[in-house]
Homo-oligomer: A and B are copies of this chain.
């Protein structure tokens, strides 16, 4: 099957907060964004705000937006990708950061592969990747676990399982939480994990208030900090020394 008459699905990273465009995005992305007039977005308001910040030249009302997020399970993907199938280039935009890491964009991308639509990823900020490289924890072997269970006993159990993987496989464990619950998660981590395990908290990545710190659970216990309402990535790992 040829894909000559089909469009390209561009994966367009957005900003992680109110950071300057030129700090987080290559100028090529802006060129691509300006060449497109159809978008599949996780959230229409934030996508419009992002495109305005990118100084898209067309009037924003002349653009087509297809909403696709966790509430879109009943939406027929075929209607969303009609433009792509008919030869239009379409941009997939996540609410923050890279599409399809922690949002349902993956389904759109699988559809593209199944239909021989070319997928081109653009470079941009990923809080998970930036947290990982800044942590100093093992980057040769790592796992991202998304959100942990909400209930404390289940969460403590999962945290201990992840800590076991850290020590047995030297596999760095990453996870996230809804920002207003960050301190409750931190409390559980300090309760569940061994004093010698290393914890990195990376919050407000790429923003002026960026904070990234790796230290042992023992050190975190003696130096309490609050991360509530600041988007953060949490990482467990062990010392390279």
Contact = CB atoms under 8 A, between A and B. Distances in A.
A84 interface: no
Interface in A100-114: 100-103, 106-114
A196 to B, nearest CB: 14
A25 B140 contact: no
Interface stretch (A39-47, A55-63, A131-139): A131-139
Contact of A214 (B113, B132, B200): B113
A101 B136 contact: no
A142 to B, nearest CB: 5
Chain A interface size band reads: 35 or more
A28 B240 CA distance: 31
A35 interface: no
A16 to B, nearest CB: 9
Interface stretch (A117-125, A178-186, A224-232): A117-125
A87 interface: no
Nearest to A112: B136
Interface of A: 11, 20, 22-28, 98-103, 106-114, 119-121, 123-126, 128-130, 132-146, 171, 200, 205-206, 210, 212-215, 239-241
